Amino acid sequence: MNPSGGLRWHWKAWRSLQLWEPTCQDIARWLAEKPPERNELLLIGASAGWMMPSAFLSGFGKVITYDIDPLAAPLFRWRHGKALAASGTALVCQRGDALNHLADVLQQHRQAQVLFDNVLGQIRFHHPDVDEASHRIASIRRRLRGRHWGSIHDAYSGPVRTPVSRRAHTPMMRSVQPPYPTASARKHDRQDTPQRAAFAAFGSQLDADGAWLDHLTGDLFPPGTQVSHIAWPHLDDYCHWLQAAWVEPQ
């Protein structure tokens, strides 16, 4: 079974839409801040687009989705097909592993704006070795040089002290991506001041309890990137910390 998708995931997503609604609104606000810069959108890890707003997708002339899950395409069409048809947006759903064939996929869609939809934070679950997963994420970042791309993904996840149903939604926060840590800083697990500030501020508001899982995406965005931090209450007592940003061609 795919550890980050499949029938169980779709069932949970459908049942959790009300719980996830504040997060979906934050994602919609983040996407609305930057109008489409290309006619085509390449959406990698699209799943069924459970948390993706149709209004954003409708701003493109063509949307191409990629996902390895056989249920992703029909459910994506079910959720967004009517709105895209009304806006005249062509929808092409591809089943395939775009991450393992990223060079070919990017070459096939050279003019497309690229968005990774909650997929890069799952890489660590597909690679048992943490170092291997980190290298995989770094290689994807290097492959994207020269492209206009964005990502929304898990940064951290873990339990919370106060159930989500008993407290207000944590508002979206912003920070600037700090410089990549040096080898010495990595060895001693030291973080730069901007990243520490983001940890302290957002972690406190999420009411994090104990150690949280690092999804290894902390160095994904280039230094200086404006990053949005979004709370995602995956369960009533377990929260994900999403990070989202757009990266200009370099």
In a domain, 25, yes or no: yes
Consecutive 10-residue runs of the chain (250 residues): their mean pLDDT? 69 91 96 89 95 96 96 96 98 95 96 96 88 93 94 93 85 87 56 60 78 90 94 91 92
Residue 96 · residue 66 · CB < 8 Å: yes
Domain boundary among 61, 92, 117: 117
Q: Residue 162's CB: how many other CB atoms inside 10 A? A: 12
Domain boundary among 61, 88, 117: 117
> CATH no. for residue 105?
3.40.50
In a domain, 134, yes or no: no
Residue 115 · residue 182 · CB < 8 Å: no
In a domain, 66, yes or no: yes
Q: Which residues span the domain enclosing 217?
A: 156-250
In a domain, 142, yes or no: no
Count structural domains, the chain: 2
Residue 246 · residue 149 · CB < 8 Å: yes
Farthest CA pair distance, the chain = 54
**Alpha-carbon distances of 121 from 82, 147, 219, 241, 248, rounded to whole Å:** 29, 20, 12, 10, 21
- pTM, entire model: 0.90
